[in-house]
Structure 1
Amino acid sequence: MKAFYGDLRVGVLGGGQLGRMLIQQAINYNVNIRVLDPDPEAPCKKMCEKFVQGSLTDFDTVYNFGKQCDLITIEIEKVNVDALQKLEDEGVIVYPQPRILRLIQDKGLQKEFFKQNNIPTAPFQLVSNKEALKNATLNFPYIQKLRKDGYDGKGVFKVRSEADFENAFEAPSLIEEWVDFEKEVSVIVARNEKGDIKTFPLVEMEFNPEANLVEFLISPSTLPIEIQKQAEQLAIQIAETFKICGLLAVEMFLTKDGQLLVNELAPRPHNSGHQTIEGNRVSQFEQHMRAVFNLPLGDTSPIGNAVMINLLGEKGYEGLADYEGMGEILKHEGVYVHLYGKKFTKPFRKMGHVTVVAEDREQAISKARFVQQTLKVKV
């Protein structure tokens, strides 16, 4: 058996910032990573052992890449599952497992999974096209989501009245009841092949209202312990039902009457776990590696209060990226900058993140707000 820390050939589908941060952790374990990504200048390109430019959704490209690997994992769900299934059938280790990816790629199947397993979620219906919205039984407003290919806020449309039908998606979708929530929260859970499971503490998220992207995240949560335990148990229930190997991010709504509703799943390192690099005893990236290599899972307890700010490209700017205010924020203690190696910026593009860690929660939040207002990605 090849050693994970030496000669095991590990492939990652996707060469973006998640893959980049996974490689940074892999270096500590002497794990060599090869990457497949369609972007010739992907953030992972200069950091991995081998970079292959190619489509993540083309069967032959994914299959031929995977045949050169002993273990494959992902940093994005939009990949060719049929190729991964064939590779798994031929003895290549694929984590998360292709059957899980097939379900999670389809938001409609996700919702059906929730319903069948008594996992609380917003009421929903599946529709084949926008004409079918005329027969919807949900009250306005409701949300239409493309069943496939929606990502980072794309593929989501709010239907306020019949007047919005014309601009709705003309594709298989799900519609779900508009949730008047108090907070959006997330739990990341890890499971290895032995069945060991650990969750990271619940985090609270704020979204950019225009781009529908996570912009500000606070960890750990100060919500009532009962809610935190319930959220962690929901994440564990899903991971155990899937028998997933790797990480699973479980995004949830906390309603104004104190109920938790599972929104979406992501079977990989996730934006809601970036703060774990400095804020927890084990990072989500190291935990993912431990899980897929079937090693003991690490201690997820927080080191302090951590706040993560996503660095999004400023609206109205497109071109070579410049980071205005970097010198100002680095004058402050407990500020950690992560730039993703993307040469060009455009509105709302994820260019990096900053984590602020402090013993005092309010101090961490205040300092993070200063970072959020000061550091701007322009040209």
Structure 2
Amino acid sequence: MNYFSSNFKLGILGGGQLGKMLLFDTRKFDIQTYVLDPSEEAPCKIACNHFFQGDLMDFETVYNFGKQVDVLTFEIELVNLEALEKLENEGKKVYPSPKTLKLIQNKGIQKNFYLEHNIPTAPAKTFKNLKKLVVEIVESKLEMPFVWKCTEFGYDGNGVKIIRSLQDVENLPNVECIAEEMVPFKNELAVIVCRNPSGEIKTYPVVEMEFHPEANQVEYVICPARIDEKVAEKARAIALEVSKKFNHVGLLAVEMFQTQDDEILVNEVAPRPHNSGHYSIEASYTSQFENHLRAILDLPLGNTDSKVAGIMVNLSGAEGFSGDVIYENIETILGWNGVTPHIYGKKQTRPFRKMGHVTIVNEDINVARKIAEDVKNTIRVISK
């Protein structure tokens, strides 16, 4: 099939920053794009060929949108599965497949999948609602502390909380959730696996993630991870095994814990471009976004190696500020070598909302990490 400068139509469910960055590569290859998103101000709107506003969880909206395109992908997991299944059954190419998405969309189902397939992961128990979890806490059947996660609709640190006492559950929603055993870990790592329908598969280098202690949100992504090569090899091998079990097409970001004993435990996966791969736009031979595009179109995959050490800094809304966004001191960092800001196009900021990121590239990972901290301390995402 001729994808380039043709009548071929690629559909993207979700019009946020991940879609916007994917559109950089569709425009580079002159691939026609259709985007569906609930927001009239979606970041993708300025870069796609055709934009549609609509509910991603509504069957008719997603189904009718999908009928217009040749290949359908998504940049967010919270989409109507039944519509995707019907489209696939009618012969529409949907990548990743709804079969894969069904195993990932609900964190309880995802966790059970790991346990059933002997994928190393922290022990956990699923509860139909918060009330049932509270009963087990009161009856001392759950050992604290543990990690509470809602099984659906969690994102960017929302829907996750460490529970150290009964009081910690007081303001949590009464929804299906899991209680996961706390893992004493050295590092949080991630590996992005790329796979096309023909079976070609590649992995990006292992990255190290540093999280904001309050927001439970990634602050820094460091590539390559500052870990022993044997640990890195183990992480990539486990990521490949996870990819094989899910039988996905496109990207699969596998988030992992490195324990004190250098074991690797799988935390969660995302079947799409991921925050842990943003560094690849500047630091890799082929960015995660271009490789996602290559994969879902069954084209040869690009080189996933890094050209240079890269660190990504998330730009999140500062505490105490909501409203029309201002990127304070951004002019300062534009004068620094190897520093590239990416602004997502969200007009309104609020505390901890992801508004952009900055990539730092340098031959020396330690120098890059120091510059990344300077960037973090210089820019503030505030409001008027």
Question: What's the TM-score, normalizing by structure 2?
Answer: 0.96
Distance 2:218 2:116 in 1: 29
The within-5 A match list for 1:342-357 is 342-357=346-361
Q: CA deviation at 1:5?
A: 5.3
Alignment-derived partner of residue 25 in structure 1 = 25
Distance 1:215 1:245 in 2: 28
Aligned to 1:157, what secondary structure does the other structure show? strand
Matched-pair contact (CA < 8 Å) for 1:138–1:177: no
Aligned to 2:46, what secondary structure does the other structure show? coil
Q: 2:213 aligns with which of 184, 188, 209?
A: 209
Q: 1:337 aligns with which of 337, 341, 344?
A: 341
Alignment-derived partner of residue 9 in structure 1 = 9
1:129 aligns with 2:129: yes
Q: Deviations over 1:160-179 (max 9, x none)?
A: 12333443441111111011
1:141 aligns with 2:145: yes
Alignment-derived partner of residue 57 in structure 1 = 57
Alignment-derived partner of residue 109 in structure 2 = 109
* Structure 1: stretches of 5+ with no match in the other structure: none
Alignment-derived partner of residue 80 in structure 1 = 80
Aligned to 2:205, what secondary structure does the other structure show? coil
Distance 1:111 1:49 in 2: 38
Distance 2:292 2:212 in 1: 27
Alignment-derived partner of residue 239 in structure 1 = 243
Distance 1:54 1:72 in 2: 16
Matched-pair contact (CA < 8 Å) for 1:147–1:174: yes
Q: Deviations over 1:308-364 (max 9, x none)?
A: 001001111111111111121112110011101111111111111100000011111
Aligned to 1:44, what secondary structure does the other structure show? helix
Q: CA deviation at 1:229?
A: 0.8
Q: Deviations over 1:165-219 (max 9, x none)?
A: 4434411111110112111110000000011110000000011122111111110
Question: Aligned pair in 2 of structure 1 residues 313, 162: CA closer, same or farther (>3 Å)?
Answer: closer
The within-5 A match list for 1:245-284 is 245-284=249-288
Distance 2:5 2:239 in 1: 29
| Higher deviation after alignment, 234-243 or 275-284 | 234-243
Aligned to 1:272, what secondary structure does the other structure show? helix
Alignment-derived partner of residue 89 in structure 2 = 89
Question: What's the TM-score, normalizing by structure 1?
Answer: 0.97
Distance 2:170 2:217 in 1: 25
Aligned to 2:45, what secondary structure does the other structure show? coil
Distance 1:164 1:312 in 2: 25
Letter of the structure 1 residue corresponding to residue 313 of structure 2: I
Distance 1:325 1:189 in 2: 36
Q: 1:176 aligns with which of 164, 176, 180?
A: 180
Aligned-residue CA RMSD (Å) = 1.2
Q: Deviations over 1:115-157 (max 9, x none)?
A: 1111111111111122322336441001111111111111113
Q: 1:296 aligns with which of 294, 297, 300?
A: 300
Distance 2:92 2:212 in 1: 39
Aligned to 1:227, what secondary structure does the other structure show? helix
Matched-pair contact (CA < 8 Å) for 1:235–1:250: yes
| Higher deviation after alignment, 173-182 or 304-313 | 173-182
Aligned to 1:184, what secondary structure does the other structure show? strand
Letter of the structure 2 residue corresponding to residue 342 of structure 1: K
Aligned to 1:303, what secondary structure does the other structure show? coil
Aligned to 1:336, what secondary structure does the other structure show? strand
Distance 2:304 2:102 in 1: 28
Matched-pair contact (CA < 8 Å) for 1:187–1:203: yes
Matched-pair contact (CA < 8 Å) for 2:136–2:142: no
Equivalent residue pairs, number: 379
Distance 2:288 2:119 in 1: 24
Distance 2:230 2:51 in 1: 46
Matched-pair contact (CA < 8 Å) for 1:157–1:168: no
Question: Aligned pair in 2 of structure 1 residues 329, 83: CA closer, same or farther (>3 Å)?
Answer: same
Tell me the percent identity.
50
Matched-pair contact (CA < 8 Å) for 1:138–1:176: no
Aligned to 2:179, what secondary structure does the other structure show? strand
Alignment-derived partner of residue 376 in structure 2 = 372
Matched-pair contact (CA < 8 Å) for 1:305–1:364: yes
The within-5 A match list for 1:189-208 is 189-208=193-212
Letter of the structure 2 residue corresponding to residue 85 of structure 1: E
Alignment-derived partner of residue 359 in structure 1 = 363
